[in-house]
Amino acid sequence: MPTLRDIKRRIKAVQSTSKITKAMKMVAAAKFRKAQQRMFEMRPYADKMNSVLSILAGMTEGEVHPLLVVRPRKTVEVLVITSDRGLCGAFNTNILKAAMRHVAELKNQGFEVSVSSVGRKANDYYKRRNIVRRKSWSGISGKISYASAQEIAGDVIESYINETVDEVVLIYNEFKSVVAQKVIIKTILPIGSIEETGVEALPTAIFLYEPTQQEVFSRLLPKNIEIQIFRALLESQASEEAARMSAMENATKAANDMIGSLTLQFNKARQAAITKELMDIVGGVEALKG
């Protein structure tokens, strides 16, 4: 049975933990507000750019640009985005489980699958399971920049143009609310047609290209891949901080509940000790009287 000193020591330890989790929640809340603002500002631009290029891609004839070439699928690249840090609940677990399921489905369909990862959590996960990654990036979470998205996009674009891979699939957490994130599995290469993306076509639209159609696609198609990856990184960042806020709030509540339980246990043990001492005193007095 623990002594009063042991219980008191444990109460202090839990109180210290509660202070840490409360502080972490406040830090995550500050980071979340900034990440959420960047994400909301990027969403309309990324959606509109993708829809416009999908419409244009669906109206092209011939091989205008290598990124529009649809080859028979043999090799599929899966790009998984996680965080660099933990203490964010099931945020990384959900992504990694979904990625493993998707990779297994592709392999069952007979495709050759290569995996690339963003975030230290994904890197560590695949290392522990001896899963070879074609490419990995870390140190991006918490300081996302467009340059990071350009680097990742440049790598996957080069792999697609060189026919190392025939399709690139992006897996990340999309922000829904502070308490909910949704795992998104999205094909970013080749650039989807109107039917594949669900974009409503313009039935009688005629587009004029300046300077040329090829020049427009050469500039905008790689840019669109960069934008979609940048958007995914921002979505992942906002989702991560929201998940960390919820996790730290739950941890703080659990610590406070534990403090209450330990305090009750401490009071009961102290009361029992006092009662025992009183009984000893009464017993001693009665012995003297005898």
Segments making up each domain of the chain, as ranges: 4-21+250-289, 34-247
pLDDT of 195 above 50: no
pLDDT at 106: 94
How many CA atoms does the CB half-sphere of 135 hold within 13 Å?
Answer: 15
Q: What is the pLDDT of residue 194?
A: 40
Indicate which residue of 7, 67, 78, 88 is catalytic. 88
Helices (H), 68-137: 91-108, 120-128
* CATH architecture of structural domain 34-247: 3-Layer(aba) Sandwich (3.40)
pLDDT value of residue 205: 59
Least confident of 166-175, 201-210, 251-260, 278-287: 201-210
> Rg of the chain over CA atoms, in angstroms?
28
200: confidence class by pLDDT, cuts 50, 70, 90: low
Query: Nearest-CA neighbor of 254 among 4, 2, 17?
Result: 17
Position 193 pLDDT exceeds 60: no
In the residue annotation, 88 being an active-site residue is answered as yes
What SS3 class is residue 14?
A: helix
pLDDT: is 199 or 282 the higher one? 282
Q: What is the pTM of this model?
A: 0.87
Q: From CA 137, how far away is CA 116, in angstroms rounded?
A: 8
pLDDT in tens, 137-172: 999 987 899 999 999 999 999 999 999 999 999 999
Phi-psi region of 236 (alpha: psi -120 to 50; beta: other; left: phi over 0): alpha
What pLDDT was estimated at residue 10? Answer: 92
Cα-based angle 104, 225, 172 (whole degrees, multiple of 5):
40
Q: What is the pLDDT of residues 7-54, one digit of tens each?
A: 899 999 999 999 999 999 999 999 999 999 999 999 999 999 988 888
Look at 212 and 98; give whichever has higher pLDDT.
98
Q: What would the pLDDT profile of 215-266 be if each residue is shown by its tens digit?
A: 888 999 999 999 999 999 999 999 999 999 999 999 999 999 999 999 999 8
**When comparing pLDDT for 80 and 193, which is higher?**
80
Q: Among residues 142, 137, 139, 131, which one has the least CA distance to residue 155?
A: 137
What is the predicted pLDDT for the residue at 131? 87
The per-residue pLDDT for range 109-139, each reduced to its tens digit, is 999 999 999 999 999 999 999 888 999 999 9
Residue type, 177: S
Q: Is the pLDDT of residue 204 over 50?
A: no
pLDDT tens column, 58-98: 777 667 788 888 889 899 999 999 999 999 999 999 999 99
Structure tokens at 107: 């392999």
Alpha-carbon span 64 to 72, nearest angstrom: 18
Using CA atoms, how far residue 142 sits from 31, 32, 234, 259, 282, in Å, is 8, 10, 10, 32, 66
